[in-house]
Structures are given as C-alpha cells and as structure tokens.
C-alpha cells in the first residue's frame, strides 16, 4: 500500500486541522509571536456575484486578536504565482468589513504559502526577486530564490 505524502492537499489539511497545537506552532514560527489558539474557519470564500471566481483555501484560521491566517500548501508549479496569493489575500481582507463598518475595523490578514522545491523552481514567478509592501494594517511579502 502506498503512503500518502504530507504535501497532498487532503493530508496537509487533515494533519493541521486535527492537530491545532501543531497548526499554532507553525503559525508561531512564521509570525514569530506566541499564538494561544487558532480557530479554523470555512475554507470556501463566499461569492458576492454569480460570475465571481471561486476560492477554496487549504486552511483559514482566525487568531484571538482577529488576525486571519491563510495557510496553503502548493505543489503544482502552475498555481505558484504571487498574483494568486495576492488575490486570495484580498478576498479574505475584503471579508473583514461590511456596509457601515469603519475601515479602521479591518483586521490583518496573513498568507503563509508552503511549497515543494519543484513548485517554486518551476514557477514563472521565480524571476521576481522580491516584492514587499507594508502598511499600517497589513503586510505582504513575496520572496523567490
């Protein structure tokens, strides 16, 4: 019987969603701050319009401070593009506000993308050395080598 690889979507999702302490530990390592808990949210982002592009995330969690964290495993080089992650980030960020809310009520969103070396190396986006932007409420950072 062949074993499933931990980078397979279903294995990755089940491993971390069934082991919340490991999920918190992963997020702590990336964010470099203690994480007391992480509430797993629905990974399917709602469509606002019939012709919206659907998004199904691997793992979406909300931290106690309201920060939302998208954790993705990417093995397929075709899906390894900064534009894709930025689109996911923007959709999650936009879910944080509703009509009548103040823009200052928006909470940070972090996307953590883990990839296999083959996915990153074969990606056409690896020609970009780095792109980052910091604002008061959010941070995006892409690094390719």
Measured distance CA(63)–CA(52) in Å, rounded = 27
pLDDT at 128: 41
Q: Could you please report the per-residue DSSP string of 72-120?
A: EEE--GGG--HHHHHHHHHHHHHTT--TT--GGG---EEEEEEE-HHHH
Given a cut of 60, whether residue 98 has pLDDT beyond it is yes
Q: Are the beta carbons of 108 and 64 closer than 8 angstroms? A: no
Higher-pLDDT residue of 102 and 117 is: 102
Measured distance CA(112)–CA(71) in Å, rounded = 5
Chain mean position to CA 82: 12
The pLDDT of 31-52, averaged and rounded, is 86
pLDDT at 65: 94
pLDDT at 129: 36
Cβ atoms < 10 Å from Cβ of 119: 20
pLDDT-based confidence at residue 122 (cuts at 50, 70, 90): low
Given a cut of 90, whether residue 50 has pLDDT beyond it is no
Given a cut of 50, whether residue 95 has pLDDT beyond it is yes
- Summarised one tens digit per residue, pLDDT across range 124-141 is 444 343 344 444 344 444
Domain locations in the chain as residue ranges: 9-143
Share of the chain above pLDDT 70, in %: 79
Q: Are the beta carbons of 80 and 120 closer than 8 angstroms? A: yes
C-alpha distances in Å from residue 39, one per residue of 60, 101, 106, 137: 8, 23, 18, 21
Contact partners, residue 32, CB within 8 Å, separation at least 6? none
- Per-chain mean pLDDT for the chain: 80
The pLDDT of 33-50, averaged and rounded, is 86
């Amino acid at each position: 019987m062949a074993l499933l690889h931990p980078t397979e979507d279903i294995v990755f999702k089940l491993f971390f969603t069934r082991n919340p302490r490991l999920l918190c530990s992963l997020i702590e390592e990336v964010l470099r701050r203690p994480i007391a808990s992480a509430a797993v949210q629905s990974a399917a982002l709602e469509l606002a319009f019939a012709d919206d592009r659907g998004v199904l995330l691997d793992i979406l969690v909300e931290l106690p401070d309201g920060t939302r964290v998208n954790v993705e495993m990417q093995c397929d080089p075709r899906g390894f593009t900064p534009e894709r992650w930025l689109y996911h980030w923007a959709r999650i960020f936009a879910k944080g506000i509703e009509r009548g809310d103040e823009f200052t009520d928006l909470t940070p969103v972090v996307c953590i993308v883990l990839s296999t070396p083959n996915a990153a190396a074969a990606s056409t986006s690896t020609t970009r050395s780095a792109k980052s932007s910091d604002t008061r409420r959010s941070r995006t950072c892409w690094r390719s080598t």
